[in-house]
Amino acid sequence: MNVPDDLLYTESHEWIKREGDKIRVGITDHAQAELTDVVFVELPKIDRQANAKEPIAVVESVKAASDIYAPVKGKVVDANKALESNPALINTDPFGEGWLFELQFENEADLKSLKDAAAYKAQIG
Amino acid sequence: MSDNAEKSTALYDEHVRLGARVIPFGGWKMPVQYAGIVQEHHAVRNAAGMFDISHMGQFIAEGSGAAAWLNRMLTNNVDKLEAGSGQYTLLLNDKGGIIDDLIIYRVGPERFFLVVNASRTEEDLAWLNRHRPAEVSLHNRSDQYGGVAIQGPKTEELFAKLLGAPGKLPARNQILDTEINGVPISIARTGYTGEDGVEVFFPAKQAATFWNHVLDVGKPLGLVPCGLGARDTLRLEMCYPLNGSDLSPEHNPIEAGLGFFVDLTKPDFVGKEVVARAKAEGPAQKLAPFRMEGKGPPPRPHYAVLKDGQRIGEVTSGTLSPSLNYGIGMAYLSPENAKIGSKIEIEIRGQKFPAQIEKKPLYKKT
């Protein structure tokens, strides 16, 4: 399973890429493989506030709907509209074209609570 | 039910070896998917797929008066069955509610083979035994039998190879005893997908031998192992009801749209009075298929169904249809709301999404 070294991770299988004062968030290769065929994505509204671990998006496979959580407290500043017409991007390119949303984080210190690649690798075995 | 209380079918090790994701279902550990639900779904619509159905229950009823007794216990007419043929039928309670839906095959003048839902096996047995005359014996053979459903347009071609000659498959709803690769089998031309196909039963001990042989022979034809996930999307496109979701003791066969499988001309059967009344007066509710309109999340069981903002029912089955690429489902609604073309809304995470009642089946082969 692909776990890029330059990203941060959550226990709930989101990946986080820091870009200045915001983070880009998606779900991991492991998560997309577990979910399989993603058929629908509900994206968060731009400008909405979110607390850490608050569900703000939904990824649906044929069989189930799964909540996606804000990794840290912040404000949603962008969402990947391409997923609305092509949700399968999450399966084909989870760390690239399949990104979900961007969050402007409130406290830089909050990022310290996230896992590094080694810790996430250990979690998924 | 806790994890360790769940049973494994005789094919469990094969599922694990093939990388299946296993889930609890009706008291069994069953594969929900191997490569993926959508891929498996399309394999069945375009080539062939093989499903483990060993979890389903098998009974043998026999003895003098077996036919007459089963005709009182079941809704369809057993007298219409010649030896070697089967029919879809329903087991009702005294109030006309559906205990189970099953297939009954006549395998001898007074000998019958019943295939019932896994989760209802014990309940069916108890109910049948309570009404069983002494001359008729009823045996639960579920542990001795393994079973697979092989479904898809390539079924005939596959069995021409498996049986060594074309044209040896039984006709629709017929059952035939034969042998493949040294495994004694009963093949029935039945299924739950809307495609041509068979359901095959064999001794549980030889389940893996049979399964692997069919996978080997079928592979060049595009046959893949399929899990319960694809089984569910395939059956829902056809509007075949699922016991426990679409069928329950709270609903009678007329409400479930299964009047075709009830013979009201029979002198008597358990639940007849209620069913006859529902048929004469019209059912209070009808199981109606619907499709989502426009873009939106797929409908799922227990989502609320609304009309003009008022709750009018709930989704019993729902999914994204891999063949149609939109959301589909079924719900019990008043006859007025259940009319074809009727506009409804499905509530999903607090938002309303438009849907429309459709004719069944939702998917038609072109």
In a domain, A1, yes or no: no
SS3 state at B280: helix
Judged by a CB distance cut-off of 8 A, whether residue B193 touches chain A is no
Which of A37, A45, A83, A85 is most worth mutating to test chain B (most B CB atoms within 10 A of its CB)? A37
Judged by a CB distance cut-off of 8 A, whether residue B275 touches chain A is no
> Over chain B, what is the mean pLDDT?
96
Please name every residue paired with B243 in a beta bridge, in sequence order, or none if there are none.
Answer: B247
Quick one: pLDDT band at residue B55, thresholds 50, 70, 90? Answer: very high
Residue B1 has pLDDT above 60, yes or no: no
Of A99-103, A119-123, B22-26, B66-70, the least confident: B22-26
In a domain, A77, yes or no: yes
In a domain, A49, yes or no: yes
Q: For position B294, what pLDDT does the model report? A: 87
Q: For position B4, what pLDDT does the model report? A: 59
Region B281-295: mean pLDDT is: 96
Q: For position B56, what pLDDT does the model report? A: 96
Residues 309-328 of B with CB under 8 A from A: 319-320, 322
In a domain, A85, yes or no: yes
CATH classification of the domain holding A23: 2.40.50.100
Q: Contact at 8 Å (CB) between B12 and B52? A: no
> Over chain A, what is the mean pLDDT?
96
For chain B, state the CA radius of gyration.
21
Region B124-148: mean pLDDT is: 97
Q: A-chain residues within 8 Å CB-CB of B300?
A: 65
Cα-Cα end-to-end distance for chain A: 10
Residues B188 and B185: their CA atoms lie apart, in Å, by 10
Q: Do A42 and B229 touch (CB under 8 A)?
A: no
In a domain, A124, yes or no: no
Residue B301 has pLDDT above 90, yes or no: yes
Residue B366 has pLDDT above 80, yes or no: no
Residue B143 has pLDDT above 70, yes or no: yes
Compare all CA atoms of chain A with the CA of B23 and give the residue at the minimum distance. Answer: A63
In a domain, A123, yes or no: no
Q: For position B343, what pLDDT does the model report? A: 98
Q: Do B322 and A62 touch (CB under 8 A)?
A: yes
User: In chain B, what are the domains?
Assistant: 3-52+144-237 (3.30.1360.120), 57-140 (3.30.70.1400), 285-357 (2.40.30.110)
Compare all CA atoms of chain B with the CA of A35 and give the residue at the minimum distance. Answer: B36
In a domain, A84, yes or no: yes
Region B359-366: mean pLDDT is: 92
**Domain residues for A113?**
8-118
Judged by a CB distance cut-off of 8 A, whether residue B229 touches chain A is yes
In this structure, is the dihedral angle defined by the CA atoms of residues A30, A35, A38 and A44, taken in order, positive or negative?
A: negative
- Span B183-219, pLDDT tens digits: 999 999 999 999 999 999 999 999 999 999 999 999 9
Judged by a CB distance cut-off of 8 A, whether residue A36 touches chain B is yes
Region B236-251: mean pLDDT is: 97
In a domain, A23, yes or no: yes
Number of domains within chain A? 1
Q: Do A65 and B297 touch (CB under 8 A)?
A: yes
In this structure, is the dihedral angle defined by the CA atoms of residues A56, B298, B117 and B181, taken in order, positive or negative?
A: negative
Q: For position B2, what pLDDT does the model report? A: 45
Please count the other Cβ atoms lying within 10 Å of the Cβ belonging to residue B332. 24
Q: For position B222, what pLDDT does the model report? A: 98
Compare all CA atoms of chain B with the CA of A55 and give the residue at the minimum distance. Answer: B349
Indicate the residue of B32, B37, B300 with minimum beta-carbon distance to A37.
Answer: B37
In percent, the amount of chain B with pLDDT more than 70 equals: 99
Which of B22, B30, B38 is most worth mutating to test chain A (most A CB atoms within 10 A of its CB)? B38
Residues 10-69 of B with CB under 8 A from A: 32-33, 36-39
What does the block give as tokens for B108?
């001898």
Quick one: pLDDT band at residue B322, thresholds 50, 70, 90? Answer: very high
Compare all CA atoms of chain B with the CA of A33 and give the residue at the minimum distance. Answer: B36
Bridge-based pairing state of the strands B7-8 and B28-33: parallel
